[in-house]
Amino acid sequence: MNSARRDLLKFSPLALAAFVPSVGSAQVTGASTPSTPTVFDVRNYGAMGTGKQLDTNGINAAIEAANKAGGGTVVFPAGTYLTFSIRLKSNVHLYLSQGAVILAAESPKPGETTGQMGGTYDAAEPQNPAIEPFQDYGHNHWHNSLIWGEGIENVSITGPGLIYGKGLSFGATRAARGDYPIYKAEQAGVGNKAIAMKNCRNVTFREFRLLKGGHFGFLLTGVDNLVIDGLLIDTDRDGIDIDCCKNVHVSNCTVNSPWDDGICPKSSYALGYARATENVTITGCTVTGDYMLGTVLDGTYKHFAADAPQTYRTGRIKCGTESNGGFKNITISNCVFDGCHSLCLESEDGALCEDIAISNITMRDLFAGPLFFRLGARLRGPKPETKPGTLQRIVVNNITSYNSTSNLCNILSGIPDFPIRDMKISNFYMQHQGGATADKAKLVPPEEIAKYPDPEMFGPMPAQGFFLRHVHNVELSHVEIAPVKADARPSFVLEEVNRADFFAITAPTTPSAFDFRHAKDVRVGWSRAAKDAVFADASGKTL
pLDDT at 122: 98
230 and 164 within one domain: yes
Q: Which helix or strand (DSSP H or E) is residue 121 part of?
A: none
Last residue of a domain, which of 299, 323, 340? 340
pLDDT at 34: 52
352 and 299 within one domain: no
Range of the domain at 156: 121-340
Q: How far apart are CA 423 and CA 471, in angstroms?
A: 9
pLDDT at 175: 54
Domain count within the chain: 3
SS3 338: strand
SS3 288: strand
Asked whether residue 435 is assigned to any structural domain, the reply reads no
pLDDT at 30: 39
Asked whether residue 320 is assigned to any structural domain, the reply reads yes
Asked whether residue 104 is assigned to any structural domain, the reply reads no
CA nearest 249: which of 157, 332, 163? 332
153 and 68 within one domain: no
Q: How far apart are CA 292 and CA 402, in angstroms?
A: 22
132 and 61 within one domain: no
Taking every pair of Cα atoms in the chain, the longest distance, rounded to a whole number of angstroms, is: 92
The one-letter amino acid at 81 = Y
Question: Could you give phi then psi for residue 128, rounded to 5 degrees?
Answer: -65, 120
Residue 39 forms beta bridges with which residues?
A: 73
68 and 17 within one domain: yes
Q: How far apart are CA 426 and CA 469, in angstroms?
A: 19
pLDDT at 177: 58
Low-confidence ranges of the chain (pLDDT < 50): 1-33, 176
**Which pLDDT tens digit goes with each residue over 17-43?**
433 333 333 333 333 445 667 999 999
Q: What pairing do the DSSP bridges indicate for beta strands 27-29 and 33-35?
A: antiparallel
Q: How many CB atoms lie within 10 A of CB 283?
A: 16
SS3 273: coil
Last residue of a domain, which of 311, 340, 369? 340
pLDDT at 21: 33
Q: Which helix or strand (DSSP H or E) is residue 34 part of?
A: strand 33-35
**Which pLDDT tens digit goes with each residue over 303-332?**
999 888 778 899 999 999 999 999 999 999
353 and 318 within one domain: no
Q: How far apart are CA 315 and CA 296, in angstroms?
A: 13
Asked whether residue 516 is assigned to any structural domain, the reply reads yes
327 and 408 within one domain: no
pLDDT at 166: 95
163 and 294 within one domain: yes
CA nearest 368: which of 420, 321, 318, 294? 318
Q: What pairing do the DSSP bridges indicate for beta strands 466-485 and 390-404?
A: unpaired
Asked whether residue 248 is assigned to any structural domain, the reply reads yes
Asked whether residue 437 is assigned to any structural domain, the reply reads no
Residues in the chain, total: 543
74 and 150 within one domain: no
With 0-12 / 13-18 / 19 or more C-beta atoms within 10 angstroms meaning exposed / middle / buried, residue 24 is exposed
Q: The pTM is what?
A: 0.93
305 and 284 within one domain: yes
What DSSP string runs through 151-196?
S-EEEEEESS-EEE-TTS-S-TTSPP-SS-----TTSTT---EEEE
Asked whether residue 95 is assigned to any structural domain, the reply reads no
Asked whether residue 299 is assigned to any structural domain, the reply reads yes
pLDDT at 303: 96
pLDDT at 345: 98
Last residue of a domain, which of 290, 323, 340? 340
Q: In this structure, what DSSP letter does residue 262 have?
A: S
pLDDT at 33: 46
492 and 536 within one domain: yes
312 and 240 within one domain: yes
Q: How far apart are CA 49 and CA 53, in angstroms?
A: 8
